[in-house]
Structure formats: structure tokens, C-alpha cells
Structure 1
Amino acid sequence: MTTAWAPGDLSPLDAAQELEIAVEGARRWVPVWVVCAGGQVYVRTWYRRDTGWFGTAVRSGRARVRVPGLEADVTIEDIGATSTQVTADVDAAYRTKYADGGTDAMVTAEAAATTLRLDRR
């Protein structure tokens, strides 16, 4: 069962430069960039793959995430680039939050296809 993120939960997620994710079946925390858009939490990787944290996250559909001030269990929804509006909103959030560099690779069509929505459990 998922629940909506409380506004107080979104603040530390939005403020964090990186979110650490530990997917079910893995024992280590992996740092990834995180953005909030439309009251939802999203992560991406550079390219879609079936291995590593991303492949395990998609297969298991569950993880634990942490940033300073928050640690939570989440379900993972692989939304890819299924919604033009969500893709545009997430792209804009990446461009704004990470404007200092590295953003170009995270807003390509290939990266958009890896968009995962994290819903609080």
C-alpha cells in the first residue's frame, strides 16, 4: 500500500543533492539524483539497463531511501517516458535543481525512459 508524500517529507527530498537508495535484495546504499515534481518523487539513471540498482529496483518494485532528515520505505513505479507532461515536469526539475552541471545527460530521451516514481509505503 502506498501513501502520498507529506509536504514535510518532500522538503528534505527536494533539498538533498542525492538520495541514497537500497533496493530489496541488495545490501548497499547507492547515491542517485532525486527531484520532486507535482508532489511526487522521481529518480533516473543515465541509461536503461537490467543490471545494478536500476534493474533490481524495477524487478523488485520496492526499496528503502534516505536523505538527511528522512528515511522511508518506497514502492517503485517504472513510468519511463509514458507521459509527455510528467517527462517535461521531471526534465524541468532536473534542469532547475542540477543547473550547475551534468544535467544534459539526465534530460535526454534515453534518460527519460528510465524515470522511476518513488511512492511512500
Structure 2
Amino acid sequence: MSAWSPAELDTFGNTDELQISSDRGDGERTAPITIWAVPVGGQVYVRSVRGRKGGWFSGAKAKGSGHVQIGAIDRDVTFEPVSDPQLQDQISKAYQDKYARYAKQIVDSTLSPQALQATLRVDPS
């Protein structure tokens, strides 16, 4: 597993939106969509607010790879599911802190049980 550089982690921490796509079984990628991401403990995490039924999430879970673009970062990535409850709490707090200026119902969509079940660590490949 490769690691994000401190500068890249700063980009994830200071830039609200990223474009994410996942690899599909036919060798193509899903169309990029805009989502939020948070750095926690030197790692980057994303959540599907549509839960496991989200199109990009389904591909990410099935193939474990895809692509992100945020600021100057334009990288192929791998995805790893997150299930640790303590880590989930840290990720939730990071979402609440980073996106506090947005409407509560929007931020809460990243904290729902379905979003927690669709949390992935994003690693550069």
C-alpha cells in the first residue's frame, strides 16, 4: 500500500469536493461523481451517502480500484472497506468538523447508518 504525502493529505483536508470513479468488471470506469472526503490519521476516507447501492460504491467494493481527482491530485487508487466502530467515529467527527459550514441535513447524510456501511479507505496505487 502506498501512502499519501503530507501535501496530498492537506489537499484532502482543505478541498471540499473530489471526483471519484470506480473500475468496472468490463475494464471501464464508472462516470466520475462529486463526493466529500476526509483525512484521518494519515489516511483518506470516503462514504457513499446512498449506501452500498451507490453506483460508484458498488464498483469500488467489487473491483477494489478506481480513480480520484482533487486539486492537483489525479491518481489511480484502491479501496478498502472500513468496519472498525472506533475508526468510524473518528471519520464521522472529521466529516462533521470539515463540513460544519454546510446545512446539517447535508452533513448528516454522511453520518447515516447506510453511509457508515459504505465507508472506504482510499489508498494511492
Instruction: Report sequence identity in percent.
Output: 33
Give runs of aligned pairs for residues 25-36 of structure 1, distance below 5 A: 25-36=28-39
TM-score by length of 2: 0.87
Give runs of aligned pairs for residues 1-121 of structure 1, distance below 5 A: 2-24=1-23, 25-50=28-53, 52-79=55-82, 82-99=83-100, 100-101=102-103, 102-121=106-125
Partners of 2:72 and 2:119 lie apart in 1 by: 24
TM-score by length of 1: 0.89
Partners of 2:90 and 2:14 lie apart in 1 by: 17
Segments of 4+ in structure 1 off by > 4 A?
none
SS, match of residue 49 in structure 1: helix
8 Å Cα contact 1:50-1:56 kept in structure 2: no
Q: What CA RMSD, in Å, does the superposition of the two structures yield over aligned residues? A: 1.4
Partners of 1:56 and 1:27 lie apart in 2 by: 8
Shift in alpha-carbon separation, 1:98–1:6, aligned structure 2, 3 A: same
Shift in alpha-carbon separation, 1:38–1:61, aligned structure 2, 3 A: same
What is the deviation of 1:47? 3.3
Q: Which sections of structure 2, spanning at least 5 residues, go unmatched?
A: none
Partners of 2:96 and 2:22 lie apart in 1 by: 26
Q: Count how many residue pairs are aligned between Structure 1 and Structure 2.
A: 118
SS, match of residue 51 in structure 2: coil
What is the deviation of 1:50? 4.2
